[in-house]
Structure 1
Amino acid sequence: MACNPERVHYTSELKAEMADSKIKRITNADIIETVDDLGGKISTVLEKELTTQLLKTTNPAERATLCQLQNLPRAQAIAARYAVDIRLLGEADIQNMKLHVKERDILDAYLYSAKQKQVPISNIQKINDTLFVYNKVVPANNPICDICFGKQETPFAVWHLGFQKREVVRRMNSSVKKKSS
């Protein structure tokens, strides 16, 4: 009974779990660099997709659904593939108590920069030991600001991409394997 070869099933989940349990030396700088790279690419794709879809319709209900990032196939696929929490935040979210205080402070700083007509850069915050949040401001002239957040005194929208540390490390492993092959 103990020598039964069917006892262990090598599934892709088991292989991933075994790879995750290997000891690796990864610095915070490595993680930040990976989050910055992924966040930049993902936010660019999302912004392009959302802008394209918003300009295809004038139906307010359809636009509201799109602004909630629903009915965006690429956004859903990216969220599933990278296990990333994707949100589009606006000025009202500065008061959203569901967001971590660091995130609200960053939004407030971004809004201040927008009011001063400064071009803000992307930002990465380590929220806790397991969560990194990548933020990127949507350009003020992008239709997303107007359509999703109405006519504001200062056009303002920010991409929020929440990355789990474990998933980032997994991405780093797969990119290291590809580079060495």
Structure 2
Amino acid sequence: MERRVNGSKEAVEKVKSMQIKRVTTQQVVTIVDDWGQRIVKQAQANLENSLAKSPSDAAAFCQLQKLPQIDSLEKLYTAEINLLGTKDLKNPALSAKEQEILDAYVYNAENKLSQIPNIQKLGDSALVYNAPVSLQSSICHKCFGEDATHLAVWRVKFKRSEVIRKVNAKSLQKIK
């Protein structure tokens, strides 16, 4: 007769997360790139759908409030998700490096240059995945309509230690 202990799935997950793993910097960057793309895709779809369904709540949605899926993504990936615009250039919560990156996005938007996602290391402990939102998206117009550039950039901040803890050892073998 088979008996299951309550919480056994959680216990197995915890044991797996505590495995000793050798993870290179390149593997961490690859994982952050993959996770960042997934998070941005889901968060953007969720925000666009919410803005379409309830335009009167746009102010709260644009601050990523009233969006439980964003909270779920933050918990699932142990990440911090923000939507930035031109006004965030002076945001003291952003590091100097992040402000420089945002300034580059603003410059590209002002000069109508192409925008691409990027990953920045913040010291040895964190990585930030940035992804610009297409100007055709309702997010740019409804959340940043007052900005001349209508720039919107997703910012997903990961703690390096959490990425390593959460990554599956088998998936590391695929990433060389």
Tell whether 2:52 aligns with 1:55: yes
Question: Please, which of 106, 126, 141 is the counterpart of residue 111 of structure 1?
Answer: 106
Tell whether 2:136 aligns with 1:130: no
The letter for the 1-side match of 2:154 is W
Give distance in 2, aligned partners of 1:58 and 1:121: 28
Give distance in 2, aligned partners of 1:119 and 1:54: 25
Give distance in 1, aligned partners of 2:63 and 2:18: 36
Structure 1's unaligned 5+ residue stretches are: 1-9
The letter for the 2-side match of 1:49 is N
Select between 89-98 and 143-152 the one with higher mean Cα deviation.
143-152
Structure 1 residues 174, 144: closer, same or farther in 2, change over 3 A?
Answer: farther
Task: Calculate the TM-score normalised by the size of structure 2.
Answer: 0.85
The letter for the 2-side match of 1:36 is D
The letter for the 1-side match of 2:153 is V
Counterpart in the other structure of 1:29: 26
Give distance in 2, aligned partners of 1:93 and 1:15: 41
Structure 1 residues 49, 178: closer, same or farther in 2, change over 3 A?
Answer: farther
Q: Deviations over 1:69-96 (max 9, x none)?
A: 1111221111111111010011011111
Tell whether 2:102 aligns with 1:101: no
Structure with the greater alpha carbon radius of gyration: 1
- Aligned-residue CA RMSD (Å): 2.4
Tell whether 2:155 aligns with 1:160: yes
The letter for the 1-side match of 2:126 is L
Q: What secondary structure, in the 3-state scheme, does the structure 2 residue paired with 1:145 have? A: helix
Give distance in 1, aligned partners of 2:31 and 2:135: 27
CA drift of 1:19 comes to 4.0
CA drift of 1:173 comes to 1.9
Between Structure 1 and Structure 2, how many residues are aligned? 169
Report % sequence identity.
38
CA drift of 1:22 comes to 3.8
| Mapped contact 2:17–2:166 kept (Cα < 8 A) | no
Larger RCO (CA under 8 A, 6+ residues apart): 2
Give distance in 2, aligned partners of 1:136 and 1:126: 15
Structure 2's unaligned 5+ residue stretches are: 1-6
The letter for the 2-side match of 1:33 is T
CA drift of 1:17 comes to 5.3
Question: Please, which of 87, 96, 112 is the counterpart of residue 92 of structure 1?
Answer: 87
Question: Please, which of 142, 145, 149 is the counterpart of residue 140 of structure 2?
Answer: 145
Select between 19-28 and 74-83 the one with higher mean Cα deviation.
19-28
Structure 1 residues 177, 105: closer, same or farther in 2, change over 3 A?
Answer: closer
Give distance in 1, aligned partners of 2:125 and 2:11: 22
Give distance in 2, aligned partners of 1:131 and 1:12: 28
The letter for the 2-side match of 1:168 is V
